[in-house]
Amino acid sequence: MFNFFRTQPVSPTAITDITARVVQDSRRKPTVSVTVHVGAHSGTFSVPSGASTGEREVVALPAKEAVRAIKRIIAPALIGCSVLDQAAIDDQLHELDGTANFASLGGNAALGVSVAATKAAASVKELETWEYIETLFATPAQAKAPRLFVNLINGGAHADRGSQIQEHQVIPETDNVHEAFRVASAVQRTLRDVLHEEFSDADIGIGDEGGFMVPTQTLEAPFRYLARAAAETEAGCAVSLGSDVAACSFWQGAHYELAGQSLDSAGLTTRLNALLAQFPTLTYVEDPAGEHDTEGFSRFLADNPACTVIGDDLTTTNPKILEQAIAARAISGIIIKPNQIGTVSDTLATMRLAYQHDVRCVVSHRSGETMDDFIADLAYGTKCFGLKAGAPTAKERLAKYQRLLTIAQ
């Protein structure tokens, strides 16, 4: 006899459960960890958070509220949906939220589910996460493998001493990931010795992103230490310097306050131009003006066309804002942080637009990181220009480098 009450078979690609919990990030602050289940398959993602954030980033709710939104609103809506339809999952997240910036559900809740679904889909397809991202992205590469942007001296909002400039980086100029990691690690060891010539162990601290905190009195000093360390290291490839100026952090509403000087937009450009003139290998500069100072970005790029001028607070991984920055000739590079925009699909859309306009993409961590290594898969799967993951000795940062090294074997 036919059983009219027999349940329909569950599709092998259907989401069967979504779970979430509160965990701690690298700054011991609460964040969200999400797992998407598809039968015996699953994907888990722990969401990072930033200390220096742009006004136009999506809204992150307190971790407990985000977990509640996942359990009560997102999970019931997505259970039964195909995990292989990333666009539909991310569209549903936007529809459930109903705002332009995930102010209702929280961008941290949305991103947790979106990335966990990507990882679960890769498992269902029996692919590495980077391989699955490669199929989603389907755009010609910017590089064979991403260059490493390694933040070795922390300042600004990431440190409790030293320069107002937030990051002082080395960039080994090679797409051989193993060689780049070897060189960056060697420069870091040399830098430690260089710093100990002037400072005691008590003077030198470790910042939010694992780099050294140094009680320097000038903007130039950290770059001088880095340049010397790079020169004294047997690298085997060119080593460039980079910086996240994070100009928003010293914007005072009507002017910039930097190193004891009150500067307008043109004055800040002049000050940074002098820094580049003093350090010729400083060829990557992020956020040389505030997030609303597009003119300052355009001026700096016009003055320094050989420099990769990178937007972060200006662009917040947002395709509409990126379009405006391209039209204004404000940038030649962009930081990609998925938690600025809230979903995998939106992140990839921004990257596609950047690739179409030869804007270099640098996939980036946040200051409040977890042990999750998804950004390494994202960087390699999209074959973007660079990966920025902090100093390689901090465990949450090292996890990203180790994942990239494994992928690139």
Candidate list 119, 134, 337, 396, residue with the active-site label = 337
Place of tokens 């990335």: 115
Of 134, 167, 209, 369, the catalytic one is 209
Q: Which of 316, 368, 381 is nearest to 129 (CA)?
A: 381
Cα separation, 380 vs 383, in Å, equals 5
Write phi, then psi, for 86 (nearest 5 degrees): -60, -40
Q: What is the DSSP string of 171-190?
A: EES-S-HHHHHHHHHHHHHH
Residue 395 annotated as catalytic: no
125 is catalytic: no
Amino acid at 362: V
Q: Please, what sign has the CA dihedral across residues 178, 183, 188, 190? A: positive
- Nearest one of 100, 27, 26, 18 to 66, comparing CA atoms: 18
* DSSP H helical ranges for 284-393: 294-303, 319-327, 338-341, 344-356, 374-382
Dihedral pair phi/psi, residue 290, rounded to 5° = -70, 165
What's the rounded Cα separation, in Å, for the pair 342 and 105?
Answer: 11
By annotation, the residues acting in catalysis are 209, 337
